Amino acid sequence: MKEKVNVGLLGLGTVGSGVAEVLEANSAHIAERAGIPLVVKKALVRNLNRPRTVSACPPLTTDPSDILADPEIDVVVEVLGGKEPALSYILAAMRARKHVVTANKELLAKYGKELFTAAEENQVDLYFEASVGGGIPIIRPLKECLAGNRIDKVYGIVNGTTNYILTQMASGKSYEDALKQAQAEGYAEADPYADVSGLDAARKIAILASIAFGARVTEKDVVRIGIERLSPLDLEYARELGYKVKLLARAQEINGVLQVLVHPALLPSRHPLASVDGVLNAIVVRGDAVGEVMFHGFGAGRLPTASAVVGDLIEVARNIKEGVRGRNKCTCFHQKPFYPVSDMVTRYFLRLELADQPGVLAKVAAAFGKEEVSLAAVIQKRLTERGAEVVLVTHPAEERRFRNAVTALATYPETLAVHQPIAVEGDA
């Protein structure tokens, strides 16, 4: 009869130390729920001498084989992040028949197939709740509680850093200043590319789409636009029209065809996601039986992310206790096609600067008319040093036709600037 489940931590940084702390602080309660105590036997670190604030510091090692080749370690928690050495360590752990819990969205979104194949071959569990939405339960709710639904849409705010930046920009800060503030607060990395370009959100929505639609969706399948080119003016004018600007991650299945996107979007101010501000995340799932459900909370951070990892560890411990191996199987049953971006239909918000001359607006309107894109609103906002600033909102239009119109009007000598178009969701 097994007396405890031994955990090996690959990484003792922000998340790893949070996991050690939660396992220690709540040990009796966790043992009761899992039916068996969980103990961190060893943690892999880069530097043994670095001062650590973790209250219950486990024994440390700098040698990965101390964990990967230790037959007493039942489950490995990978919280190193990035591709390598995380991928090799996970595969080595699986070959050694150790279960794996990971927070690594990059690996899941790129190598989900390889990881699940290895898990299946070695009859081990692979859990990854912390890879999307930090502390928000969303992976297992999708796989388990909502499994009886046909899910046709999953969408939400899955990147706290960009949501923080957009929240700052909504009160007038420039993108650059808002980013600096996010860095000063410790939300944005020194190299903010993965967050601001939408890559982090793309990885997360790829993982959610795979589970929701039972199909293989990888990071490469996600069409993405980041927030780098947005101006506080976009947010101000959107607000005047009754919208908030959010970086939306969106996955939809329409007649068996998938559409998976990350892009800035105008959301009606009364939409539940519009009031999700700062570093918070929220994800909405639409199922045929349940309707719409929203999951809301901290999408990152030491203890929220540790909460998700420890929840997975408890599940693994239960499986071990019951003698069940490889319970958490891959659910990407189907290969489904993806919608070409050019066919997608949406409404657009577009900010332009035009020469302040007679007939210019008519010329711009004609460019849209030629492509059969109907304009819902045309508002001249103000005179800039260069000319007239104009905001357009279209009726639903095919991306290809909208793009053709914008490409045409950008060539006019009277067009002084064409800013990034933003998709408009719902009615304000």
When the beta carbons of 165 and 406 are compared against ligand HSE, the nearer one is 165
Look up residue 277 and give its two tokens.
Answer: 């501000």
Q: Which residue in 142, 286, 121, 292 sits closest to 214, CA to CA?
A: 142
Query: How many residues of this chain bind ligand HSE (CB under 6 A)?
Result: 7
Q: Rule CB under 6 A: say whether 219 interacts with ligand HSE.
A: no
Q: Shortest Cβ distance from residue 10 to ligand HSE (Å)?
A: 17
C-alpha torsion sign, points 311, 69, 42, 4 = positive
When the beta carbons of 203 and 271 are compared against ligand HSE, the nearer one is 203
Cα distances from 144 to residues 137, 195, 235, 331, in angstroms, run 11, 29, 38, 11
Sheet containing strand 75-78, edge to edge, reads: 60-61, 38-44, 5-10, 75-78, 99-102, 126-127
User: How many helices and strands, by DSSP H and E, does the chain display?
Assistant: 14, 18
When the beta carbons of 21 and 106 are compared against ligand HSE, the nearer one is 106
Q: Give the DSSP H or E segment for 33.
A: helix 27-34
Site for ligand HSE in 150-209 (CB under 6 A): 159-161, 195, 200
When the beta carbons of 77 and 424 are compared against ligand HSE, the nearer one is 77
Q: Shortest Cβ distance from residue 224 to ligand HSE (Å)?
A: 15
Q: Rule CB under 6 A: say whether 299 interacts with ligand HSE.
A: yes
Q: Shortest Cβ distance from residue 312 to ligand HSE (Å)?
A: 16
Cα distances from 279 to residues 88, 161, 178, 247, 294, in angstroms, run 32, 6, 13, 12, 17
3-state secondary structure of 84: coil
When the beta carbons of 300 and 308 are compared against ligand HSE, the nearer one is 300
Q: Rule CB under 6 A: say whether 78 interacts with ligand HSE.
A: no
Site for ligand HSE in 32-61 (CB under 6 A): none
Look up residue 109 and give its two tokens.
Answer: 């979104």
Opening angle at CA 212, ends 74 and 94, nearest 5 = 20
Residue 204 a catalytic site member:
yes
CB 15 within 8 A of CB 134: no
Look up residue 130 and give its two tokens.
Answer: 């912390």
Q: Shortest Cβ distance from residue 161 to ligand HSE (Å)?
A: 3
> Residue 313 CB: number of other CB atoms within 10 A?
26
**Out of 300, 314, 320, 350, the residue judged to bind ligand HSE by CB under 6 A:** 300
Q: For the window 109-148, what string marks contact with ligand HSE as x by the rule CB under 6 A?
A: ----------------------------------------
When the beta carbons of 159 and 168 are compared against ligand HSE, the nearer one is 159
320 backbone φψ class: left, alpha, beta (φ>0; ψ -120 to 50): alpha
> Residue type at 212?
A
Which of 173, 204, 244, 246 does the annotation list as catalytic? 204
From the number of C-beta atoms within 10 Å of its C-beta (0-12, 13-18, 19+), residue 109 rates as: buried
When the beta carbons of 92 and 207 are compared against ligand HSE, the nearer one is 207
Q: Shortest Cβ distance from residue 304 to ligand HSE (Å)?
A: 10
> Residue 92 CB: number of other CB atoms within 10 A?
18
Q: Shortest Cβ distance from residue 322 to ligand HSE (Å)?
A: 32
Q: Shortest Cβ distance from residue 424 to ligand HSE (Å)?
A: 24
Nearest residue to ligand HSE on Cβ basis: 161
* Residues in touch with ligand HSE (CB under 6 A): 159-161, 195, 200, 299-300
- Residues labelled as active-site residues: 204
